[in-house]
Amino acid sequence: MSDPDCLFCKIVAGEIPAEVVLRGDRVVAFRDIDPKAPTHVLVIPVEHLPDAAAVAADDPALVGELIAAAAGIAAESGDAGGGYRMVFNTGADAGQSVHHAHLHVLAGRSMTWPPG
């Protein structure tokens, strides 16, 4: 099921262009248009689910597919050895701006905390 008003559903449907790096039956991944790291890819379920908690409640196996896709993307980009970050923002207070579940894959620079 998709949401006709959802930006990411429109990307899945091909209505909005994106640099897609992976397309499967249940998962799509594309480069973030405002990257926060040299590698910044969003991994999303094809089905419209509003956030990570909804994915976990609706289809726990899909969470594993999203994470496996993220690991594959990091490996293919050459970032797996040095490390990479996977982030789900869930809800507006956590910084989620598009309410279609998405996993950020960030790599290509140091992600240590605190920065510096």
Name the pTM for this structure: 0.93
Name the band, by pLDDT with cuts 50, 70 and 90, for residue 115.
Answer: low
User: Which among 48, 99, 100, 102 is annotated as catalytic?
Assistant: 102
Is residue 102 part of the annotated active site? The answer reads yes
Residues 48, 53: Cα–Cα separation, whole Å: 13
For 23-75, what is each residue's pLDDT tens digit? 999 999 999 999 999 999 999 999 999 999 999 999 999 999 999 999 999 99
For 1-33, what is each residue's pLDDT tens digit? 778 899 999 999 999 999 999 999 999 999 999
Going from the N-terminus, what domains does the chain have, and what CATH number goes with each? 7-107 (3.30.428.10)
3-42 burial, b if ≥16 CB within 10 A, otherwise e?
eeebebbbbbeeeeebeebeeeeebbbbebeeeebebbbb
For residue 65, CA distances in Å to 28, 43, 45, 52, 113 come to 10, 10, 9, 12, 27
Q: Strands 39-45 and 27-31, how do they pair?
A: antiparallel
The whole-number pLDDT of residue 79 equals 85
